[in-house]
Amino acid sequence: MIGLCLLLQVLAVSDPSARMGMGDEAFQRIDYPSAVAAYEDALRVQPSNPEISWRLARAYVCMGEVADAARREELFRTAESYARRSIAADSACSEGHTWLAGALGYLAYYGGNGEQIRLSHEVLQEANRAIALNGGDDAAYSIKGSLYRALANVGWLQKELATILYGKLPPGAFEEAEAALKKAIALAPDVMRHHYELGVVYLDWGKSGEAVQVLRHAATLPVRVAIDRPRLEKIKELLGKLEN
């Protein structure tokens, strides 16, 4: 019996599909180090497999979201590298574009104004590519919604100065943010992020009634990724301020 178990473990290690499945199971448990280890084992056997690379990009984005400040940029850059590797292997793999957009969205925080403007264009471009390849990609719509919210919060004078100094920002307003996030919710109604981001859009937009309604629902949704835990605390904090 011990020999059979050992044989099965050896076969699992040598089978990229089995290792990828192990990685998926670990990812669902929010055990990102184990997920990364399994995916990297699979990638060593199939280095050009885009499905493995985008999963690694996703795992590194999720790790970066909850990492200490000193490690966050490094993790997001690793995510970017794996996402680009996925796209290089197969440009029709929508998830590669999705997680490249996600990684670049976070990396924009570390750049100057010119770099942020360049990355904002690339984030929108990659999210749109993902959607063109897979119209059911809720994560890509959610990333678009977050980008549009950020753009809507840039004042008119700031946009004009940015255009003069660094180049034109992509267009974006609260209406576009709302539409993208509502589409994400329609595709994946049990994902906390989509509802939370829509609630914050309404807050920034001055629509506190709509924000309360959306955030209340967000607070009932399951924790699926590590960032959902602090996100849930933020939702409760926001509701406490809005409802008092």
- Report pLDDT digits (tens) over 141-156: 999 999 989 888 774 4
Identify the pLDDT of residue 149: 92
The closest of 199, 170, 50, 157 to 104, measured between CA atoms, is 170
Give 211's pLDDT tier (boundaries 50, 70, 90): very high
Encode pLDDT of 12-29 as tens digits: 455 889 999 999 999 999
Mean pLDDT of 128-146: 97
Query: Lowest mean pLDDT: which of 4-18, 65-79, 143-157?
Result: 4-18
Measured CA to CA, the distance from residue 195 to residue 148 in angstroms comes to 15
Task: Examine the pLDDT at 53 and tell me if it is beyond 80.
Answer: yes
Identify the pLDDT of residue 106: 95
- Predicted TM-score (pTM) of this structure: 0.88
Measured CA to CA, the distance from residue 52 to residue 40 in angstroms comes to 8
Give 235's pLDDT tier (boundaries 50, 70, 90): very high
Identify the pLDDT of residue 117: 79
Measured CA to CA, the distance from residue 75 to residue 3 in angstroms comes to 39
Identify the pLDDT of residue 64: 98
- List C-alpha distances in Å: 43 to 37, 47, 98, 100, 124: 10, 5, 19, 18, 28
Give 103's pLDDT tier (boundaries 50, 70, 90): very high
Identify the pLDDT of residue 170: 54
Query: Lowest mean pLDDT: which of 2-6, 54-58, 193-197?
Result: 2-6
Identify the pLDDT of residue 168: 52
Task: Examine the pLDDT at 55 and tell me if it is beyond 60.
Answer: yes
Task: Examine the pLDDT at 85 and tell me if it is beyond 70.
Answer: yes
12-90 folds as 1.25.40
Domain locations along the chain: 12-90, 189-244
Identify the pLDDT of residue 13: 52
What's at 68, amino acid-wise? Answer: D
